[in-house]
Amino acid sequence: MRSIVLIAIGLIAVIAAVVLALFLDDEAPSTPTTPPASVEQTQQPTTPAPVKQNDEKSQNVRPSFDVVRINPEGDAVIAGRATPKASVEVIDGGETVVGTTKADERGEWVFLPTSPLEPGERELSLRATNPDQTIMTSQDVVVLVVPENNGAALALSMSQDGTGAVRALQTPGAQAITLSIDAVNYDDKGNLSLSGTAPEEATVLLYLDNEFLGGTTADERNSWSISPQKIVKPGVYQLRADQVDDNKKVINRVTIPFSRAENMDHVPADRKFVVQPGNSLWRIARRIYGSGFDYAVIYKANEDQISDPDLIYPGQVFEIPKE
């Protein structure tokens, strides 16, 4: 009997050993002998290259002008914005590269020509090569007039097709003028766009033949612009700008004649010229043909609306003959 009990106990021990061995074999994979890779290594996401490139392209911005300043000697300071780290080219007449500069990490750039700008009239634009090698051009151009004999320069920013507001970046004698109307423009329907200069934060009210057009405030560059919600019919008017104080009292005033011309649909867009404040037939001819002596060509083509060659109005639209 005792031997049977011992045999039974032995069998139980063997079975227990077998079960324990099987249990340990089942649990072995949960305790590896070598440590796994870190969570950061196994779970760290990788951004596909195409997504990164799209993100970069979405941040690209067109180059633009903020500041154009020319002193009487022709030394210029030209500055603006573009895509951060972009290479920016300043272009004269759509072809000649005046110079190249680079935008900083904020997208701001400054270009200082190494030599004074020659007297004459030119149209500046911008072309930027972004860090992803895409190329973008400016929507606006700057019409720049550098006079002879160390005179004061004129710089106007406008759209390439001539529509929309015209912004004065620098006007002759701007340091001595506290209020001015520098540019007028309108579309085929007669919607006006006006701009000028005034002291920083000055309130400017605009009137057309004493009819209120709207008000605006001069910015930190002493510039103001406004596009009144009013359609002006063809005719000759008086355009007035009033600078007022906090009590709406007029402290400065400037008035200029303004002509809203008839639509000239028969004239190609590239042969139309909208007269701006300060223009004369001589200056227009010098800009278009290279010589002021050719003003008679413009006068003869527009005799029906020019009664006196020495008296033309801002807003008039002239047909510019090709020759």
CB 192 within 8 A of CB 157: no
Half-sphere exposure of residue 66: CA atoms within 13 angstroms, side-chain side: 14
278 class by beta-carbon count within 10 Å (0-12 exposed, 13-18 middle, 19+ buried): middle
Q: State the CATH number of the domain containing residue 274.
A: 3.10.350.10
Query: How many helices, marked H, and strands, marked E, lie in the chain?
Result: 5, 19
Residue 292 phi, psi (nearest 5): -65, -20
Among 243, 260, 277, residue at a domain's last position: 260
Task: For residues 170 and 151, give the distance between their C-alpha atoms in angstroms, rounded to a whole number.
Answer: 13
Same domain, 105 and 64: yes
Q: Which residues of the chain, if any, have pLDDT below 50? A: 1-9, 11-57, 176
Same domain, 216 and 134: no
Same domain, 65 and 143: yes
Same domain, 218 and 276: no
The predicted structure's pLDDT at residue 24 = 41
193's CB contacts (< 8 A; 6+ apart) are 164, 165, 166, 183, 184, 185, 186, 225, 226, 227
Number of domains making up the chain: 3
Q: How far is CA 145 from CA 31, 55, 76, 132, 174, in A?
A: 82, 40, 12, 35, 14
Same domain, 77 and 143: yes
Among 216, 243, 260, residue at a domain's last position: 260
Kindly state whether residue 30 falls inside one of the protein's structural domains: no
Residue span of the structural domain in which 202 resides: 178-260
pTM as predicted: 0.45
The predicted structure's pLDDT at residue 275 = 86
Nearest Cα to 275, choosing from 185, 197, 207?
Answer: 185
Same domain, 84 and 100: yes
Q: State the CATH number of the domain containing residue 244.
A: 2.60.40.10
The predicted structure's pLDDT at residue 6 = 41
